[in-house]
Every structure is written in C-alpha cells, then in structure tokens.
Structure 1
Amino acid sequence: MRAAVVTRFGGPEVFALSELPDPEPGPGQIAIDVSHAAVGLIDVFIRQGDYRDRPGLPQPPYVPGLEVAGTVRALGAGVDDVRVGEPVVTLSGTGPAGGYAEVEVVDARLAVSLAGAGVDPALAVAALPNATTAHLALTEVAHLRAGERLLVHGALGGLASAFPGVARTLGAGAVVGTVRRPSLSKARAAGFPYDDVVAAEDVAALETRFDIVVDPVGGQVRTDSLEVMAPLGRMLLVGNASGDWPHTVSTNALWYANLGLLGFNVGAYLAARPERGRPAAVAALAALRQGLVPIRTETLPLAEAGEAHRRLVAGGVGGRILLTP
C-alpha cells in the first residue's frame, strides 16, 4: 500500500510517500480500504515533535491520521458486528496513527457503520468524529441541561463547529461562536447554527452569561471567558490551537466565581472506554442528517500530505482537509 510517512520530527517537508506492506487486522480489529483520511491539528502537533516525550505516541518513521472513512477490507478474530465491504467511519482514539494510507487497521469497537445512514463518507469523516466528541463532552463531562447557553471559541474550526449542531439536538438555548475579528463575516455566512458570532477579542465585554464555554483555542481567550461565565458555569478545554502552552488560569478565580474547568481528550477517553464511542456517534449522526454540521471540506491527494499540513497551520481553511489515496 501507499502511505504518507513522517520520516522525522519537523516541518511539513518531513513527509515521504512510501510503499509499505498491507497491514493485517489482529483480534478485535478490522482493516479498512481508506477512501478519505481527515487531517487534524493533533497530527500537526505530533509531526512537529510537540508530544515527542508523551508515552504511547508515535516516533518517526510513522504514518499519521486518526480518522478515516472507507470500506471494511478484512476482519480480525472475534469481530462479528461488521461485514467485509461495509462502509464505515472511524472515531478519534483508534490508535496513535495510520490513516494517511490506502489501508488502515483499527479497533473494531471504534468503527461506526454508515450503511443506510444517508451520510456521504467525506462529510462523515470530516464531521462525525468531531460531532461524537462534542456529544461525549456535552453529555458526559459538561452535563448540558436543556435551555443552557453555550459560548464556542474558534467557531469555524473542525472540532468547534460540531458543537452548535450537537448542542441543538440536546436542547441547548442560545449558542454563540467566536472567531478572530478578520474572520467574522466568513463565520457568520458559514451556515453553522450559531445565534451569533462575535470577535474573540471582545469576549470579556459580552453582556450575556454562559453556562458552558467550549474552548479548543486556549491562551488569553481562556482567561477572558471567565468574565462571561454564569455561576456554576463549566468550561470544556478541548484543545490549544493558539499554541500558547505556558498560559495558566487562576484557580482562585474559579473558586471565587463558582466556576469549573473540565479537560476532555477524546482519544484518551475512548482508549479507556471504547464502548462509549458508537452510541455517541449514533446520536451525533442525527445532527449530520439534520444539516446542523454543514462543514466545508477540501480534498488533496495523499501525496500532498505536507501541503495539507501547511494549509492547516496557515489558517483560513474554514472546514476540514481530507486526503484521498
């Protein structure tokens, strides 16, 4: 099979298109003929070496990619709930890598069938893993209640943009997004089910108080958000796209204002509780079918994995980049 291999930690130039042996599924696994592989910021951070000392994450040479769509190619021992030829999409947390290839092997428990779902595979891999993350974060961590108000930072991002639609299916009240000021007009025209999109630079001045803040951005906007959280508000920390790793939040500010910061890393969560993935994905599919996650996709060939990473880091993608073998 062909695969885009990270040959060493570094910039996008470290990719090499290589021929590798076709992987075979072990017990409890399936092999997938990949039609689309999603490119995520986590792929960028790992490729750059940001997590090089983190146990369980890959060391070069390795094949990146956590989320793919395709058809089941082969079944490992003990797998009896999917069939060869069935269309599937994988969820985040299926392993450290492997999706930027013509064939990927994954834990069968984290592959979701698309048979009869009425969802295009490209949309499924672009939106369903993130929508599943949103569903798990809102139901099992933030414990969203009907009528509660949400503030979602990085409103155009692949992960953030899944939250308003899923929140709507769970009965949320107002949902407001934020982006940097130059992206306001694009965000307001993107079609996501926000009640409004505002400039992230103006967050601290908002008059509305929010029960849940979704923050995949980090940095100063995280601290600014404390000013607009309602008593007993919960902030979901689901990323650090700003790259501001040294930033900290005052724990005394949390205590004084009755606020909570809750980290949610879906990969680690599903690695520990893989049985939670499929039920959440089935629930999240409702948002996709209702058109509540109208994410834009851009497709590049597998050989241009480095270019995909360049575009993602440069910003302005406004959706998700997919690689096709």
Structure 2
Amino acid sequence: MRAVGVTEFGGPDALTVVDVPDEPLGPGQVRLRVRAAAVSPTDTHLREGAYAGRDPVKTPPWVPGMDAAGEVVEVGEGVDRVAAGDAVMAIVVPTGAHGGYREDLVLPAGSVARVPAGADAVAACTLPMNALTARLALDQMALPPGSVVAVTGAAGAFGGYVVQLAKADGHTVVADASEADEQLVRDLGADVVVRRGDDVAGRIRAEFPDGVDGLADGSVQDALVLPAVRDGGKVATVRGYRGDGTGRVEVLPTMVRRYAENGAALDRLREQVESGAATLRVARTFAPEEAPEAHRVLAAGGVRGRLVITF
C-alpha cells in the first residue's frame, strides 16, 4: 500500500511516497480505504522529528496525518457503528507508519464515523481532528450557556470550529481576525471581531471590560492572551502551555488524543455539519507525490481551509 512519509526527519522534501504493508484487523477495529487525508501543522512537527521521543516505533518510515476519509473495507468482531462500504471519516493518532497519509488504515471503531450527508471524502477529512480539538476545548472549559468565549486564530481550522461550536452551545463569541479575514470570521458566527495581534488581549478587554469567561488560544499566544480573561476564567491551549503560575485563571492544555476514540463526539460533529452549525472548508488538494509542496504551502501561512492529500 502507498503512503506518504519520511525515512529521515527533515524539511518538506523529506516526504516521499513509500510502500507500507497492510495493518492487521482486530476486534473492535475498522479497515479504511483512504481517499483523502488533511494536512495540519502537527504533521509538519512529526515530519521534523519533534515527536520521535514519544513514538514507540523507532524504525522508518514515519507517516504523518491525523485526519482521513474514505470507505470501510471490513470491520472487526463487535463493530456495529459502521459497515463495509460505508463512506466514513476518521481521526488518527500516528505511530510509526500508522498515520493518515496512507491508502490502507486500521483504526478503533470509536475513531470512525460516517461522513456528513452530501460531503465527499475530501471535504469530510477536514473535520475530525480540528473539530474534535475544538469540542474538547469547550468541554474542558465547561462554561454555562450565555458565557462570553474569546477565540484567537479564529480564521484557522481549530479556531473556526471553536467559533461555530461555541455559538451552537449558546455562547457569545469574540474572535480575532486580520482585516482580510474579518468577514470570514463574522460569517463563521462571531458576535464581535477584534483585530488580531500581540495586543489582542487589550482589544478584547476594550469590548468586555470585566474580561471574558473563557478563551481558546488557537493562535498559540500563551501568556499574551491571559489578561483578556476575567479572574477565575478559563483558557484552553493547544501546545501544552500551562499558564504563568499565578493561578489567576485556569489554564487547560487541550490534547485531542483524549477524544481520539470518542465516537459520540464525532457523530455529533457530523450532525452539526448536516444542520449547518459547522462547515467544511477545503483550500486545495494535492497528489501523494505533491505532499512536499502541501507542507511548503502550509508553512507559508495564510491558508484558509484545509490542504488535502488525495489517494
């Protein structure tokens, strides 16, 4: 089976098409014929070797990718969520050659859900990882309906889903955006839009002088955003940041691996796409051989929507 991976960690050109064996199918698992895999920043970190120390597999190739979509080929004993032939999307926790950028992939049944009605594999693969991360961020903050939630990096994949899911949860949303992205962020559902930048906390406080109840830091500004949040408020972070040590606000590192087998959350996200509460955004597609270019485009910044490798 073809996959896109690295045999030596490095820059985008380290990515190459490699041959990998089929993975064995066990009880409670699903075999997926992958048609599309979304590209995300965490894939670039894996490519560079940032996760090599925690990966139990120490031999190449290493295959990135945390999102995939395609068709179910077969299911293991005890699986009734999906059946052979179903069009599905999935979240992947990469280890060694087990990653989303491969044609044949075996996953726990809880990591797989049917694609939203009317969506193809390319669009569907853009949903699982970032939307589940957004869902986890909101679930960890556990704010009552009617709370004020701030979102940085709101035009990005994670931030955009936080905006949409927070609105669906009944919150007031204040989000940041560049001038070019302001309409996009408003269209996602933000009630208030402030200009992005290092001073975003001050801009948020200008709109909400008492501070917001919660903040999802999609732009990874860490300590810079804490002043936007009221005393006792909550901040969801996405790169392990744990706060400034003062305890004035509760900082909640958001690790999507915790939700990687949360089939109920995946099903809910599918329903929210079908209802229009969440949207699928594709920026561009690439053949497997073009994966290095996909990583270069991502690194250049400014991508709105997801880059997708198609098989």
TM-score by length of 1: 0.84
1:57 CA displacement: 6.6
1:58 CA displacement: 6.4
In structure 2, the partner of 1:237 is 237
In structure 2, the partner of 1:149 is 148
In structure 2, the partner of 1:303 is 289
1:287 CA displacement: 3.1
Q: Within 5 Å, which residues of 2 pair with 1:1-325? A: 1-56=1-56, 60-93=60-93, 97-114=98-115, 117-139=117-139, 141-173=140-172, 175-179=173-177, 183-189=178-184, 191-195=187-191, 196-206=193-203, 207=206, 208=208, 209-218=211-220, 221-239=221-239, 249-252=243-246, 254=247, 257=248, 259-267=249-257, 269-270=258-259, 274=261, 277-297=262-282, 298-325=284-311
For 1:58 and 1:162, the matched residues in 2 are separated by 34
Q: Which runs of 4+ in 1 moved over 6 A?
A: none
Say if 1:159 and 1:59 are closer, same or farther in 2 by CA, change over 3 A.
farther
1:9–1:60: 8 Å Cα contact kept in structure 2?
no
Say if 1:232 and 1:270 are closer, same or farther in 2 by CA, change over 3 A.
same
Say if 1:41 and 1:198 are closer, same or farther in 2 by CA, change over 3 A.
same
13-22 or 186-195, larger mean C-alpha shift: 186-195
**Residue type at the aligned position of 2:197:** A
In structure 2, the partner of 1:243 is none
1:95–1:106: 8 Å Cα contact kept in structure 2?
no
* Structure 1 unpaired stretches of 5+: 241-246
Q: Residue deviations 1:85-108, cap 9 Å, x none?
A: 011111254766322122211112
TM-score by length of 2: 0.88
* Structure 2 unpaired stretches of 5+: none
For 2:29 and 2:141, the matched residues in 1 are separated by 31
58-67 or 222-231, larger mean C-alpha shift: 58-67
Instruction: Give SS of 1:189's match.
Output: helix
Instruction: Give SS of 2:268's match.
Output: helix
2:11–2:48: 8 Å Cα contact kept in structure 1?
yes
1:235 CA displacement: 0.2
How many residues align? The count is: 302
Q: Residue deviations 1:29-69, cap 9 Å, x none?
A: 21111111011111111111122212447653122212101
2:6–2:47: 8 Å Cα contact kept in structure 1?
yes
For 2:229 and 2:26, the matched residues in 1 are separated by 47
Instruction: Give SS of 2:180's match.
Output: helix
1:136–1:280: 8 Å Cα contact kept in structure 2?
no
For 2:136 and 2:194, the matched residues in 1 are separated by 24
77-86 or 314-323, larger mean C-alpha shift: 77-86
Say if 1:158 and 1:239 are closer, same or farther in 2 by CA, change over 3 A.
farther
36-45 or 118-127, larger mean C-alpha shift: 118-127
For 1:151 and 1:58, the matched residues in 2 are separated by 40
CA RMSD, aligned part only?
2.3
Instruction: Give SS of 2:266's match.
Output: helix
Say if 1:294 and 1:184 are closer, same or farther in 2 by CA, change over 3 A.
farther
1:21 CA displacement: 3.1
